[in-house]
Structure 1
Amino acid sequence: MTTRLAPGDPAPDFTLPAHDGGTVTLSQLRGQSVVVYFYPAAMTPGCTTQACDFRDSLDALNASGHRVLGVSPDPVAKLATFAERDGLTFPLLSDTGHEVLEAYGAWGEKTNYGRTSVGVIRSTVVVGPDGLVALAQYNVRASGHVAKLRRDLGLDAA
Structure 2
Amino acid sequence: MSERKQEEVMAEEQASTEGLKFTERLAWLGFMLFFVVVLAIYVARGIGLERDVAEANRELLDAQMQLAQYTQHEVPRPAEVGLTNAQVQAMQRRGIARPELQLARSLLEQPELISHAPVLGGQMYFVPDGIHVLNDRWVLATFEDGHVRGQMLLEYDVAHGNVTWQVLESYLE
* Structure with more of its chain in helix, by fraction: 2
* Higher RCO (C-alpha 8 Å, min separation 6): 1
The normalised TM-score by structure 1 is 0.23
The normalised TM-score by structure 2 is 0.22
| Greater C-alpha Rg | 2
* Structure with more of its chain in strand, by fraction: 1
